[in-house]
Structures are given as C-alpha cells and as structure tokens.
A and B are shown apart, each in its own frame.
Chain A
Amino acid sequence: MVQLIIRRIGMMILILLVVALLLFLINEGDPTLVARSVLGPYAQPEQLNAWVIENGYDRSVIVRYFEWIGRIFAGDLGYSVIYKRPVNEIFWDRLGNTGILAGVTFVIMVVIALTLGVLAGMKEGSLQDRSISVFSIITTSIPEYASAVFLVGIFVFWLGILPGTSSMTSGFDPVQMILPVLVLVLYGFGYIARMTRASMAEVMTTPYIRTAVLKGLPYRRIILKHALRNALIAPFTVIMLQINWLLSGVVVTEFAFGYKGFGALLLEAALRRDIFVIEACGTAAVFVAVFTQTVGDLGYTYLNPRIRFK
C-alpha cells in the first residue's frame, strides 16, 4: 500500500510538471506576447523589446520555466495585468469563495444523491425507482447555463423572491447562494444518484442479501447494515470526481450569477489574456484534478479489499 501511495504521488507530481510546462509554453513561450499583455495594445515595438530585455524574457524558455516553478514553490504567483495586483491577493480569495460554493453544493448534493440513489436501488423497477431515475436523468441532462436561465426566470423575473446575481459586493449573503447552489445540485446530483442506484440494485441481488431476507431480518436493518456499505463503494469514485468538477468546473455557474469565484477568475483571465492568472488558475485546476483522482484511487483500493495492487 505504501509503495502504491508513493507511486501515485510520484505520478501526480510528474503530471503536474508536464501540464505546467504546457501552460508555461502556451502563455509565455512568445516573450513579445507577454510584453504586449503587460504593456497594453498601444505599446510600440521599441517599448516591447525594452520590456523583454529588462525582465529577462530574452533568455531560454527552459531557464524561465524552472525559474517560474521556483517562484510558485516560493508562493509568488506573479502580477495580474488586469487587477493590477499580485495574483496571490486575488487567487486565494477567489479559491476560498469557490470552496464555499463547492462545499455547500457538495454536502447537499451528496446527501440528496445518496438518499435518492439508495431509495431507487432498493426496489429496482418500482414506481419509486422509475420516478427518481427519470427525474435525475432530466436534471443531469440540462446544462447549467440553461437551468440558470430557467431558475432566474422563475425565481427572479416571475416570483421576484430571490436575488438574480451572487456577486456579494456588500459582504457575504447566504440568500445569494441559493440559485447557484440549486443549479449545481440539480446538474450534479443525478450522476451520483444513478451510480448509487445501480450499485444498490446490484447489491440487492447478491446471495448474502437474499439470505438476510430469508432469515427474516427487518428490511430497514438489511438496507442500513448490510446493503448500504457495499453499495457505496462504487459511488465513492464518482463523488471524488465531483469534487474536481466543483472546484474547476463551476465556471458556467459562477459566470451566470456573477459569483466571484475561481472559475470566473479563470474565465476572465482567459478572455482578457491575463497570463499570470491563467497560469496560477490552470496549475491549481490541474492539481485539484490530479489530487482528487489520486485520493479517489487510493480510497477505492482501501474500501474494496478485492482489489490488490502490488
């Protein structure tokens, strides 16, 4: 197991370094483009050349890459040309905001998804199962940008009971969290619920459950004590993947509600070519993706003793 952990972490670092290199080459491969994004569209060629030399961008790209890696490890993420501030001052706040949105969504989504998944899987083919399955398929099939518009239409334009944006410009306001959380939960819960249902349905057909039923154990006890634990192994990986989606894939929802999170920061930076923010956000997103994947793999191995890695 220890060997597995070391190997997975080594792989994680390697993937991070390779993706970081790609990010760096795309953003800083051409020194003139870097100078242009820092000095603005009206800077003249002489000014661009002077900036390139002054800031050491006339050196080889590999040297600059390792310097950049060194600065990241030292906590220096560079300077944002749009925000006119060190990236550090914006990045962590935005990541924190997304953490709040993702955390609230995650808790609600997992509780609802597991509950509905188990309820559906308990009696495969029943009306309860079909209703839950159809509902979760429908909600998961509607992309966030569409459900955001539908929900705003209902709760803001029609009923007029919820704020239409979540920019929190006058401090944290839990009411402003309702619509973005609702959009994310609606989109995200169906996948976990379907996985849980499938897993639960499979467990319910196993001999040991049948034995428990034949022994005359109460149905509630069979579900909670015997079926649930085994049924949750498969959804675990899916849930871990949802963490990755929640931290780096909420761009659309943050954009739709003007929520000042990490996803909106990355999108804004990409649209306006704020290269140091793109690099910081890109690296963080890759880290979250690789890290949750690794934790998911290790957790699955731990939960499922049938899997043996050597």
Chain B
Amino acid sequence: MSDKKVLSRDPRRYTLPSERALGAETHSYMPELCDQLQTGKISRRDFLRQATLLGVAAGTAYAMAGMPGGDVIRSASAGEPKMGGVLKVSQRVQAMDDPAIFDWVERSNVARFMVEHLSRTRSDNITVPYLAEKWEASDDLSTWVFHLRQGVTWSNGDAFTAADVAHTVSRWLDPAVGSSNLGLFGAMVEADADGVKRGIPNAIEVIDDHTIQFNLKQPDLAMPEKFYNYPTAIVHRGFGVDYEADLASNPIGTGPFELVRNDVGEAAILKKARDWWAGPFYLDEIHYYDHGEDTNAWVAALASQQVDMIYRLPSDAHEAVAALPFVDIHSVTTAQTAVMRFRVTEAPFDNLKLRQAVAACMDHAELLEKSFQGRGQVAENHHVCPIHPEYAELPPLKRDVEKAKALLAEAGYPDGITIEIANGDTEGPWMTDACAIFKNQAAPAGINIEINKMPANQYWEVWDKAPWGYTAWTHRPLGTMVLGLAYRAGVPWNECAYDNPAFDAALDDADGTFDVNERKKKMAVCQKILQDDAIIPQPFWRSVYKAANKKVKGLKVHPTLYHQFHEVWLDDA
C-alpha cells in the first residue's frame, strides 16, 4: 500500500480487507507502528520485525512496508530451481535423541528437516510464523496466543494440533527432562518449595485444536524468537510418553525428511520421504559427514569436493578457500561475539575501578583487525549489537591509557597488577590471538595479562567460575534476550555473577516496552549501566562465513548457522 494513505490511528485504515483477514489489525499498537514507519521514526526492517511480533501475517507486514519477500517460506530465487540431488555437508554428527535437550546447533541442523518450529527467524534476523501461522500478544505482553497452521500432519499420519505444542512445551518446563528451555522460558517458570525450577500452573492453555495460549508471570517480548531456538523443535504428542524420547529410533516429524542413518561421529543421512506442507523441497537427500574437530579437514573435504558445503568457514582458511575456483564464500553479519567477562564477586575483579581500568585499555578496532581480519564490527562493552532492533547508539569508546593508569591507581594498584584470563579457544584460535593483542594493549597501563590457555571442554567446565574468562556467545535476534540470559541477577547463565537491581529494573522496563524508539531509549540505560560497571570488555561482533560449491544455489547463511535448506537446490541435479 502507498505510504501516503496512512493518516489516522484507526488500524482498519492501514490495511486492505484481505490483509485484515490475515491479521493485520491484531494488536492495538499497530496504528502507532504504522505512524512511525510513515514518519521515518523507524526503519522498514524494524517495522517488519515489530509487526510480525504483533501477530501481523508476514506477507501482510512485508506488503505494508512496501518490500518484497512476504512469502513466509520462500524468497525470489535466482535461476530456475532444479528438483533432486544430494547435498553433502561437512558437519559434526551427534546423537539424535531428544530435541529438548539438544546442546549443539549441529544436532538441531539434522533434526530441523524432521521436526519443525512454531516460528522461524530468517537469515535477515526477522522472525516470521511457521508451524504457527500467526500469533497475538496482550498489550502488557504477558499473554501470547499462537494460532497453529491447519492441514499439517505428522509423518505417522496424525494431524498436527495444539496438543502437540502443549506436550512439547510441558516437557521443556519439566525439570526431569533437563532442557535448557527451562531457563529460556523463565517467564513460565518458578521455583517450587524445594527450590527446583519448573513450569508455573496454567502457563500452557489449549484453547482449541489449533489455538494455544501461554500465560506468563511477567512480560516477554521475545516469545516468537524463543520458539526458534535450537532446542525448541515441536515433537509429536506421544514423544516420551507412548514411545521413547529418541528421535533416531522414533523419527516422527512434520518435516519432509526421514533419518535413514545416524552414526554418531560418522554420518547422518536424510532422505525426502513425503510431500511437505510448505510446498516443494528441492533436495532429495541431505548427507552430513563428520570430519572431526579439525577445521582443516572440513576445508580439505570441500577442496577435494568430497562435500558441497562446510558448516562454518574458519577465519584462518579464507584465503585458501577463496582461491578455489569452484567455491563461493557466503557471509552474514551477526551478533555472535565473545566477551572478556569479569566475575564481579571474585577478587580482584570485585574492584570497579580495576575493571574500568582494564576496559579503558581496549582498542576494539585493532582487536577486530588483527585477530579476526576485520570480519565483523567493533563492540562497545554492553553486549547489544547494532543489528539488534533495540540497539541504542552511545558515544564511541576510545582506548585511553592515561585514564587506565589513573583508574588503576584509584583501584589501589599504583604500581601495576598481574591478572589472568582463562581462554579455551572455544570458537577458534583467533580467541588466543585476541587475548595476546589485548595483553599488549594493557601493558602500557601497568596491567600485565597472563593468558591461561586450556582445552575448549575444560573451559566450558569453568566458564561460569573463572574469575576472568573469555566466553563466546552465540547470536540472538533481540538484545533483550541476551541481556536477560546473561546479566539479570540470579539467572543460570549469569557468568559474571552480576547483581545490579538498577540494571534489572531498566531491563524489565525495556522488555515491557513495545514502541521501538521508546525501547531504544530504555535500552540505552541498560547499555550504559553495563559499560559503566565494566563487567564485559567486549572486543567485537563476528560475521560468520560458510563456503559452498558453486553448484549449491539458493543458500543463505543464518546468523546462528542454523540450516535452512528449503530454498537450496543443486545446479547439477
């Protein structure tokens, strides 16, 4: 629709009847959102993100923003897709048991072609409906109604209904299952008399066969995004009840593929077994081959065309792969990062001035350039990324050695100090490089950094205990999600042991605010508090890269490296 037609706050004025039928007027905030789009207060991307969050059908939202790409499942493809073929991917192959307890993205990548999600975050970081065809939130964001897609069936012939979703979410909230979703969906969780966290009564309410409501104890803006986390695939209502909770032996899903082989550490073979509710799926088979932990082996497999694609292109292999004439490198800007976080309850990092002194030594741009070849963007020590919709721009940080010296003296270390950072290279050797470069940056201020290099698995045993550590965090579509997971007092992944009521209140305030610009203002408060408290010197945000044979068409890299192959086809099929 034309921008000029938007004149008043009546939601019916913004949409065509056909669009209203798709849900364009589901939330009272829509008129305000449309106003903001028309007056240029928010970008089209922000509008799309917010409108789909409010339950506007994705197609309608894209049309309202005057952008193509409204097809929830597909976007325009370059060339005429060819049906058939086998896509071979180098990726770790792990146990395919219970999706609720998945702890690696790689496991979900195999499962994603069998069991699917209520929502889907696209590679452009916008979350759109999927198994749920739309959703609605109450004005206070504490009640969410999901309308499920009709006509979807499980591979065993059963119809997909709200009972499946209720069963799946109930399992997540059951402490006996051991799912990380118990922390992710904190707004539906409380501690019982024994201190065990479990789902609150009446959190899940089945309205009818295709409608389900979630009643939260506090506002949560990110419910649709959370339903596209890697352990949140929807399983059949009999999973773990009528049969063992093991996807490899009971591969019942709504997706088009069946798992014909899953040998951990070796190979997983998926074959297309039936028609898909979302239309044609071009590939016939997807093969995952496990070449171990050594990224050189992945790259060698691609170079010798044993595989068509690798899970991730390591940063030190760019030049070698770029020289291969039959390979394309794909990239996406993400909110993946690593933070040099202090555990603020441990001496000497309980000393605010010391933390500020360390943070003042950091030259973010140099760290990005020298340790990650400039493939990303500088961060600002508050873990909210410019690609997050609620990111608020703060004055840029500058390295200031004199200030660091003064702060160090104030902290009680006028003659300098030696501190140790734990690092497990959990995302690659560039992490050691970053530590070494930061060591050089801090040295002139009298701060001697010793790097405690350890194996990745050992780091994951101490990541939330080490007084100072370099921890990698994956991309999350919203800044509020990651701040809530990592820095709210008492949450399981609060590796800094950070406990600041002012920050929690500011985050609650931002979390319950729908207006994008208002939320940015409130996020600015959160970001500033984190910067001032200097709990996470954060060098940079990483772009992620994939390398694939040129015959692989329609591939888009997802910021979290989730495999979405519904648009992928092979030119030699």
Contacts and interface: CB of A to CB of B under 8 A. Distances in A.
Interface of A: 39-44, 46-47, 82-85, 90, 148-149, 152, 156-157, 160, 162-165, 167, 169, 254-258, 260, 264-265, 267-268, 270-273
Contacts of B94: 82
B459 to A, nearest CB: 11
Interface of B: 94-95, 97, 101, 103, 175-176, 178-180, 182-183, 194, 196-197, 264-267, 287, 289-294, 296-297, 299-304, 306, 320, 323-324, 455-457, 460
Contacts of A163: 301, 304, 306
29 contacts: A42-B101, A43-B178, A44-B175, A44-B196, A44-B197, A84-B264, A149-B296, A152-B303, A156-B304, A162-B304, A163-B301, A163-B304, A164-B302, A164-B304, A165-B306, A167-B289, A167-B290, A167-B301, A256-B296, A258-B292, A258-B297, A258-B301, A260-B265, A264-B292, A265-B265, A268-B292, A268-B293, A271-B293, A271-B456
Nearest to B197: A44
Contacts of A272: 457
A169 B93 CA distance: 12
Contact of B176 (A47, A257, A271): A47
A258 B304 contact: no
Contact of B182 (A42, A47, A165, A264): A42
Contacts of B197: 44
A141 to B, nearest CB: 21
A83 B297 contact: no
Contacts of A162: 304
B12 to A, nearest CB: 47
A152 B317 CA distance: 13
A264 B265 CA distance: 10
Contacts of A270: 457
A84 B249 CA distance: 12
A97 B232 CA distance: 37
A180 B294 CA distance: 14
Contacts of A148: 296
Given A152-B300, A169-B287, 17 more contacts: A40-B103, A42-B180, A46-B196, A156-B300, A156-B303, A163-B301, A164-B304, A165-B306, A167-B291, A169-B266, A256-B297, A258-B297, A258-B301, A267-B293, A271-B457, A272-B457, A273-B457
A10 B323 CA distance: 59
A117 to B, nearest CB: 32
B95 to A, nearest CB: 4
Contacts of A264: 292
Interface centre among B178, B183, B265, B455 (most CB of A within 10 A): B265
B304 A165 contact: yes
Contacts of B300: 152, 156, 164-165, 257
Interface centre among B287, B306, B323 (most CB of A within 10 A): B306
A255 B292 contact: yes
A255 B296 CA distance: 10
A256 B294 contact: yes
A271 B294 CA distance: 12
Nearest to B183: A42
B194 A169 contact: no
Contacts of B455: 271
B418 to A, nearest CB: 30
Closest 7 CB pairs of A and B: A164-B300, A258-B291, A164-B304, A258-B297, A84-B95, A165-B301, A83-B264
A85 B246 CA distance: 13
Given A156-B303, A163-B306, A47 B264 contact: no
